[in-house]
Amino acid sequence: MKAKIPPLPARFAVMRLPNPPPAWEGNRVDYVIAAVWTFGVLIWTVARFIIPLVVFWQFCRMLWYWNTPDVHAGWQFLAYYAVYIALYIFLGVYEPKLYREKNRGRCNG
């Protein structure tokens, strides 16, 4: 003899979650940032060996012209070094919104 399954109540409510937001809604700036990041990542293999040589050259130039007025080699070295560090952080740490995983335990977007 088969066991009888009790009937469902007349008002069986299904709990529905709200619709999730779209995976990614970006504006044109986000697309430009993603394109620049992609281009930078593609050339970073070669650039990460060339840029430090240029920064080292500017460092040697700064040491050579340290006491020479009107050359500003120290500020030029600082600018080259700052751009190198900014590129390193932008390409190595930052991840554009377009490429982020959607549900990694944080809000989308």
Which pLDDT tens digit goes with each residue over 9-67?
A: 666 556 666 766 665 566 788 888 889 999 999 999 999 999 999 999 999 999 999 99
**Across residues 89-104, what is the average pLDDT?**
78
Task: Note the pLDDT of residue 60.
Answer: 97
Task: Note the pLDDT of residue 46.
Answer: 94
**pTM over cut 0.85:** no
Report the 3 state secondary structure along the chain: CCCCCCCCCCCCCCCCCCCCCCCCCCCHHHHHHHHHHHHHHHHHHHHHHHHHHHHHHHHHHHHHCCCCCCCCHHHHHHHHHHHHHHHHHHHHCCCCHHHCCCCCCCCCC
Task: Note the pLDDT of residue 63.
Answer: 95
Task: Note the pLDDT of residue 15.
Answer: 66
